[in-house]
Amino acid sequence: MTWLQLLLIAILQGVTEFLPISSSGHLILLPKLTGMPDQGLLVDVAVHVATLAAILVYFFRDAMALARGGLSTVGLAKTKDAAEKRWFWYLVIGTIPAIVVGGSFTVLGVTDHLRATHLVASTLIFYGILLFIADRFSPQERNFEDMTLKDAVLVGCAQALALIPGTSRSGVTMTMARFLGFTRPEAARFSFLLSIPAVIGAGVLVGKDLLEAPATQQMDALIAGILTFFAAIATMAFLMRWLKRASMNVFVFYRIGLGLALFAFA
C-alpha cells in the first residue's frame, strides 16, 4: 500500500473509532470510494490494536484499576477497592455478547455479506436516529462508578450489534449508556473501556496470521498502527472535552447525511 492510503486509513480509524460514526463503515468505504485496494483484515486489526493502546494511555488510571481488579481475582495482586474487581468482571461480562455474535457470524459465513454499501448506509441512519433520541431525552445523572451488572449486560448486547458495519461500536454503546442515564462524558468513558477486552481478543485471534504474513504486509500494519495511535489520542482528547459542553447532534447529522449519500452512491 502507498503512504497516502496508510495515512488515510490511520486518520479514519483513529478518528472514527471514538467518534460515534462507525470506523468499520469508513474503512470498508475507503477502497470503494477511492478505488484503492482493500487494506485487508491484518491492517484493520493492527489499527484497532493501536486504538487500544491509545485507550490504555489516555485512561491509564482506569486501565490500572481494571488490571488490579483482574489480577486480584486470580490471586496475583491485592486491591483494597472491591469496586475494581466488580468493574473488571462487568467489562468481561459485557464482552460476552460480542464474542457469541461474532462467533456465530463466522460459523454462518455471513461476515463478507455485511460489508455491502446499502447495509452500511442503513445502519448509519438508523443508529444515528437512536443516538439522537437517547441523547435528547435521557437524563444525565450517572457515572461509570454507578455501573451495575444490568448496565454491563445491556451495553454489552449493544456492543454486539456493532459487528454489523456502519453501526459504530462507540456510537451504539454510548447510545445505550445514554438511555441508561449516564452523562455524555461517562457514556464515552464506559464505551472506550468496554472495548479493551474485545480488541485484545481480536488481536490475539489474528496474531499468528500477522506473524506469518509477508514482510511488506507486516510493515504496512506497523506503519498504519503507529499513525493511528497518534490520531486516536488526539480524537479522544477532543471528544471528551466536546461532550462536557455540547450534545451529540453533530454526529447524528453526519451519520444521516453520510447514509443518504451512500444510498445515492450505491
C-alpha dihedral (213, 217, 223, 225), degrees to nearest 10: -60
pLDDT of 199 reads 77
Tracing cell 463503515 back to the chain, one arrives at 25
Mean pLDDT of 133-156: 94
Mean pLDDT of 95-118: 83
pLDDT of 173 reads 96
State how far Cα 106 lies from the chain centre. Answer: 19
**What average pLDDT does the structure give for the chain?**
87
Q: Is the pLDDT of residue 1 over 80?
A: no
Single-letter code of the amino acid located at 179 = F
Kindly state the cell numbers that stand for 64: 490500572
Rounded CA separation 261/52 (Å): 30
Instruction: Work out the pLDDT band at 176, boundaries 50, 70, 90.
Output: very high
- The percent of residues above 70 in pLDDT, for the chain, comes to 94
pLDDT of 23 reads 76
Q: Is the pLDDT of residue 240 over 90?
A: yes
Instruction: Work out the pLDDT band at 261, boundaries 50, 70, 90.
Output: confident
pLDDT tens digits, residue range 71-89? Answer: 888 777 777 778 888 999 9
State the angle between helix axes of 249-265 and 117-137 in degrees (0 to 180), rounded to the nearest 10: 160
Report yes or no: 159 and 194 within 8 Å, Cβ to Cβ: yes
208 class by beta-carbon count within 10 Å (0-12 exposed, 13-18 middle, 19+ buried): exposed
pLDDT of 194 reads 92
pLDDT of 34 reads 78
Q: Which of 66-80, 118-132, 154-168, 209-223 has the lowest mean pLDDT?
A: 209-223
Q: Which of 24-33, 96-105, 131-140, 190-199 has the lowest mean pLDDT?
A: 24-33
Instruction: Work out the pLDDT band at 189, boundaries 50, 70, 90.
Output: very high
Q: Is the pLDDT of residue 208 over 70?
A: no
Kindly state the cell numbers that stand for 207: 496474531
pLDDT of 125 reads 95
What residue spans define the domains of the chain?
A: 3-34+44-265
Rounded CA separation 11/223 (Å): 12
Q: Is the pLDDT of residue 257 over 80?
A: yes
Instruction: Write down the H helix ranges in the chain.
Output: 3-16, 23-34, 40-58, 60-73, 82-108, 117-137, 149-161, 169-179, 184-212, 215-243, 249-265
Q: Is the pLDDT of residue 96 over 90?
A: yes
Kindly state the cell numbers that stand for 40: 485487508
Q: Is the pLDDT of residue 207 over 70?
A: no
Of 239, 131, 107, whose CA–CA distance to 185 is shortest? 239
Rounded CA separation 33/12 (Å): 13
Residues 6 or more apart in contact with residue 230 via CB below 8 angstroms: 14
Q: Give 112's DSSP letter.
A: G
Instruction: Work out the pLDDT band at 26, boundaries 50, 70, 90.
Output: confident
C-alpha dihedral (87, 89, 90, 95), degrees to nearest 10: 130
Q: Is the pTM of this model over 0.85?
A: yes
For the chain, the straight-line distance linking the first and the last C-alpha, in angstroms and rounded, comes to: 25
Residues 6 or more apart in contact with residue 211 via CB below 8 angstroms: none
Report yes or no: 175 and 154 within 8 Å, Cβ to Cβ: no
Kindly state the cell numbers that stand for 5: 492510503
